Amino acid sequence: MNSEDIGYLPATEMVAMIAAKDISPVEVNDAVLERIETVQPKLNPFITICADEARVAAKAAEAAVMAGDDLGPLHGVPFTVKDLVNTAGVRTTYGSHALEDNIPEHDALSVARLKAAGGIMVGKTTTPEFGHKPMTEAPLFGRTLNPWNQDRTSGGSSGGAGVAAAAGLGPLHVGTDGGGSIRIPAAACGIVGMKQTLGRVPHDGTPDSFALMSFIGPMTRTVADCALMLDVMSGPHPSDVHSLGRETPDLIGAAAADGDLSGLRIGCRTFLGNEVIDTETRNLFDGAMPAFSDAGGTLIASDGPFTPTLPFWAPLTYSMWAARFGGYADQLGDKMSETLRYWINEAQGVSGVAVQDAMAVRTRIFREVEAWFDDVDLVIMPTITRPALPVDHDPREAIEIEGKSVDVPRAAWYPYTHPFNLTGHPAITVPSGWTADGMPVGLQIVGPWLADDLVLRAAACFERLRPWADRRPDIG
């Protein structure tokens, strides 16, 4: 097995092979590090590569296998962490010159749990500065390119993680999602990305747990790996008020290959506050929907009420950026991303009354979405309205769909993602197909509050009928 094949090996298979001594943790991690060394100059998915630390951990993992020790569910498996998530002893820059030498003393809880399960961190993946936009680029490190077409964006803000998964740089990747930042790059790069129910994975890195809209979640190539990773990271913790009292359902069992959707009502929704979708993207979405009925579900048009969320997501998010990062803007000047400085400045016009109004509307939208599930068990919609945008697109400018200018990306490219950051509902994106010019797009499965296992089951059934994991980009 060569380094590319090892790099694309799912974690579920990797764990079994390591336990059976068919492959060693050292061999696995050396192969992934070799892949990273090859791909990094071409696509730029990493800010920091932890080669020395990973090799030390891999040798210790191999010794444990040979000694017959009890092995964790991720023993010897390499994983990456988006550079918005703290990692002990490894710099965490947030993609900003302000923190380029920041070395945390402690791992974020999600990272600590992955390590405790036997996972081995091989690097920190790229993010736009403080995760502020859907293209992964920053003055600190440059641009991260889409592996399917290097003239296109990788999406963002977890673009480095999306590229690492798509390019076979190991099976497990930690992303974050404050408005679609896991699901956008997952759809743009042709992989799986999940934003779980609010509180399922405790977020111990946020200064405000009560008004949280940001999530730490898995990005993988297969649904089974997504479930395995989410299961390891899940569980209550005193740092996150939303996690307390939560029991983790059988996420791994939900993603098992023998499940079906018998008896489930599957809602289908093509638009969500938008009016335009690329024809080829829509055809791929429409062509994918019969797989859910083939798996036993009953397809139903879903047209429950919905209040467009961008007018309320924006004041909540921009004011948060101004409060958290405004001091860095004054400190860095032109060394901060111009777009982030622009939106921090926009926040100066957001009043406290506007923020309170947006918080109240957030509750109303939650109730609207939860009411969808009185009539259906799941709702399926596109993840993005067209394939990845040009790599140099300004996120403040209107996008084009079939040669026509429509609206800015938040309104016209991914209107389907930020609503569920506001409501906290579980949502997973999986590839719905590839366009004629070889670009992936995704569909999103949304479930009721706490129904992460049901969302994973539907995704696994779809994957079994419309598999994608064997498809690899030609990186050159």
- Tens digit of each residue's pLDDT (9 = 90 or more) over 140-172: 999 999 999 999 999 999 999 999 999 999 999
Cβ atoms 244, 213 nearer than 8 A: no
CA gap 208, 211 in Å, rounded: 6
- What residue ranges in 50-140 does DSSP mark as E strands? 78-82, 120-125, 137-138
Cβ atoms 318, 350 nearer than 8 A: yes
In this structure, whether the domain defined by 3-465 belongs to CATH 3.90.1300.10 is answered with yes
User: Per-residue DSSP letters for 171-199?
Assistant: SEEEEEESSSTTHHHHHHHTSEEEE-STT
- Tens digit of each residue's pLDDT (9 = 90 or more) over 366-403: 999 999 999 999 999 999 999 999 999 999 999 999 99
Q: Indicate if 3 belongs to the active site.
A: no
pLDDT of residue 218: 99
Closest by Cα among 416, 213, 201 to 321: 213
pLDDT of residue 466: 98
Ranges in the chain, pLDDT < 50: none
Closest by Cα among 79, 133, 124 to 99: 124
CA gap 59, 183 in Å, rounded: 34
Query: Domain map of the chain by residue range?
Result: 3-465
Active-site annotation holder among 110, 154, 181, 319: 181
pLDDT of residue 178: 98
Active-site annotation holder among 110, 157, 214, 319: 157
Active-site annotation holder among 82, 115, 124, 133: 82
CA gap 409, 134 in Å, rounded: 8
Helix (H, G, I), strand (E, B) or coil at 33: helix
CA gap 219, 202 in Å, rounded: 17
* Packing angle, helices 452-465 and 223-233, rounded to 10: 160
The residue assigned the tokens 């996120």 is 395
Closest by Cα among 105, 74, 75 to 90: 105
Q: Indicate if 432 belongs to the active site.
A: no
Q: Indicate if 82 belongs to the active site.
A: yes
Helix (H) or strand (E) holding 161: helix 159-166
Task: Please tell me the pTM assigned to this model.
Answer: 0.98
CA gap 225, 428 in Å, rounded: 13
Which residues share a beta bridge with 428? 194, 445
